[in-house]
Amino acid sequence: MSNLRTTTEDEPKTAGNGLRRALGVWAAAAFVVTNMVGTGIFTVPAFVRTATGNGLATLGVWALGGLIAMSGALCYAELATRMPDAGGEYQYLSRIYGKLWGFVSGWISFLVGFSAAIAASALGAANYAAEVFHWNVQTTLLSLPWHIPLPGDASLHGAVNITQGSLLATLLIASLAVFHSTGIRHSGRLQTIIASLVVGAIVLLVFSGFATGRGNWQGVTQSSSSSGLWWVALIQVSFAYSGWNAASYLAGEVKDPRHTLPRALIGGTLAVTLLYLGLNLLFLYAVGKQAAEILFGQTGATIVSVIITLTILGSVSAMTAAGPRVYYAMAGDGLGPSIFRRLGKGGGAPTASILAQSIVAILLVLTGEFGNLLTYIGSALSLMAALTVAGVWIVSRRQKTNGPNIFRTPGYPVTPALFLLVEVTVYIQGLKANFWPTFAALLTIFAGIIIFYVSRSFGWLTDNEPAQQPTLP
């Protein structure tokens, strides 16, 4: 177990490792909002309503999901002020539990947590944009056959089909990668603009929907038959809330991180919770799956498609910027290729890490071999988040005193206990409801452990001290 060391000293304008501290609280919060709000809020509500059988119960499940996310954000806020360096969970797990668990978290993030999520979201954005502009995303533009001979007469063969949808998704990923390579200042401004547009559009949608008077308030209180899949519904809601920890990945580029990070994590999570509750109330008021058409007529579907496209665009952009900070930190600690440590000369962004992540995401877009991965990897990421939150107990136990600038988790130790209790319960229920994809999350973690020890035995990983090792107060 590693020796945890934190600091209470004021942070300089540079993080001491080449990254520039340029993000203020609004830009950091924008990363949280855009990373959280995605397609889930527009696709999950109908499932939750069916699972609960009651409008008020549906709102309760969404409120509980927000409470869980807020509990996690409060715990991450404390860890972020103690270890205000780029990398998020990677930094916390490395310093609290040792390099092994930091590596496991990092490699899951690189392979699927960010790369595959970017690929899936980019394809989703292309699909919704196609509804607005009346494109056929399935139209094949180019087919590239491949063939791998095997011993005997056997062989592996197939084809990579480049469709209009995959081409648009590829262009989106490449464009955002180039943009975010220009520096964190530009990234922060873009996310602030997108977050403002998303929040403004959703607020306008909610108030305009109620103002039409075409819904029925009985939809909020009336009951219907329930599927009884409450825990599955909570899992779906938890995924819709995922992304509340986005600002922690960019901690190395946040100005005055001990004050900015808690405000960004908590404020962004609270804002999204209120948006989600407002949208769900609107959907219940509309009393139907096609809420937009019911409230706004035929143009409603187009309006919602534009909003969804914008929200997904913001999510892809946030992940494109956040993920590479993990690989950048890993490279500095000898747990990743040293080239991932390379920064752009102009804006100081980890350009090599951004490029590597984008290449993986584009390959997944073109091959389409990532849908099943996303099903089970969500559980692996939840387990990593639970392990990180548990670290709050370890930090508090090790440190007898705390500096004046350390954010303390409100409600400790109940707050982390609530988060862990729900996360563990949801995972167990997930094993019962859908065993193999959920169990595969554990297998993924075990595979990371094996890769860590094998790589270290061959000398592929070094035992460097973490690039940023603050001192204990």
Q: Residue 2: pLDDT above 60?
A: no
> Apex CA 218: angle with CA 214 and CA 221, to 5°?
140
Q: What is the pLDDT of residue 397?
A: 67
Q: What is the pLDDT of residue 379?
A: 78
H runs (alpha helix) in 242-297: 246-249, 257-286, 291-296
pLDDT-derived band at 99 (thresholds 50, 70, 90) equals very high
Which of 57-71, 126-140, 321-335 bottoms out in mean pLDDT, i.e. has the lowest?
Answer: 126-140
CA dist., res. 118 & res. 267, Å (int): 24
Q: Helices 40-52 and 257-286, interaxial angle, to 10°?
A: 60
Which of 97-111, 156-170, 342-356 bottoms out in mean pLDDT, i.e. has the lowest?
Answer: 156-170
CA dist., res. 253 & res. 28, Å (int): 9
DSSP state of 37: -
Q: What is the pLDDT of residue 5?
A: 45
Q: Helices 299-332 and 184-212, interaxial angle, to 10°?
A: 150
| Residue 183, phi-psi category: left (phi > 0), alpha (psi -120 to 50), beta (remainder) | left
End-to-end CA distance of the chain: 20
Q: What is the pLDDT of residue 443?
A: 86
Q: Are 391 and 96 in contact (CB under 8 A)?
A: yes
**Residue 331 is encoded by which pair of tokens?**
């490279």
CA dist., res. 17 & res. 238, Å (int): 34
At residue 11, what is the residue type?
Answer: E
Coil, helix or strand for 228?
Answer: coil
Q: What is the pLDDT of residues 367-415, one digit of tens each?
A: 765 555 555 666 777 888 999 999 999 987 666 556 667 889 999 999 9
Q: Residue 32: pLDDT above 80?
A: yes
pLDDT-derived band at 270 (thresholds 50, 70, 90) equals very high
Nearest CA to 325 out of 252, 399, 273 is that of 252
| Residue 160, phi-psi category: left (phi > 0), alpha (psi -120 to 50), beta (remainder) | beta
Q: Are 78 and 409 in contact (CB under 8 A)?
A: yes
Between residues 409 and 46, the one the model is more confident about:
409
Q: What is the pLDDT of residue 143?
A: 80
Q: Residue 299: pLDDT above 90?
A: no
HSE value, Cβ hemisphere, 13 Å, CA-based, for 79: 34
Provide the whole-model pTM: 0.84
Q: Which helix (H) or strand (E) holds 213?
A: none
DSSP state of 11: P
pLDDT-derived band at 472 (thresholds 50, 70, 90) equals very low
Q: What is the pLDDT of residue 450?
A: 94
- Averaged pLDDT, 144-157: 76
Nearest CA to 387 out of 89, 38, 158 is that of 89
- Averaged pLDDT, 100-116: 88
Q: What is the pLDDT of residue 289?
A: 53
Q: Are 8 and 403 in contact (CB under 8 A)?
A: yes
Between residues 151 and 2, the one the model is more confident about:
151
Q: Are 389 and 420 in contact (CB under 8 A)?
A: yes
Q: What percent of the chain has pLDDT over 90?
A: 40
Residue 404: what are its φ and ψ, rounded to 5°? -65, -20
Give Cβ neighbours of residue 291 (< 8 Å, ≥ 6 apart): 209, 282, 283, 300
At residue 81, what is the residue type?
Answer: T
Q: What is the pLDDT of residues 201-250, one digit of tens each?
A: 999 989 988 888 888 888 888 877 777 677 778 877 887 898 899 989 99
Which of 27-31, 204-208, 323-327, 400-404 bottoms out in mean pLDDT, i.e. has the lowest?
Answer: 400-404
Residue 46: what are its φ and ψ, rounded to 5°? -65, -40
Furthest CA-CA distance within the chain: 71
Q: How many residues does the structure list for the chain?
A: 473
Is omega for the bond preceding 337 within 30 degrees of 0, making it cis? no
Which of 128-142, 406-420, 445-459 bottoms out in mean pLDDT, i.e. has the lowest?
Answer: 128-142
Q: What is the pLDDT of residue 67?
A: 94
Give Cβ neighbours of residue 434 (< 8 Å, ≥ 6 apart): 232
Q: Residue 141: pLDDT above 90?
A: no
Q: What is the pLDDT of residue 263?
A: 94
Mean pLDDT of the chain: 84
Q: What is the pLDDT of residues 338-376, one digit of tens each?
A: 899 999 887 789 999 999 999 999 988 887 655 555 556
Q: What is the pLDDT of residue 156?
A: 72
Q: Residue 256: pLDDT above 60?
A: yes
Q: What percent of the chain has pLDDT over 70?
A: 88
Coil, helix or strand for 141?
Answer: strand
Q: What is the pLDDT of residue 12?
A: 44
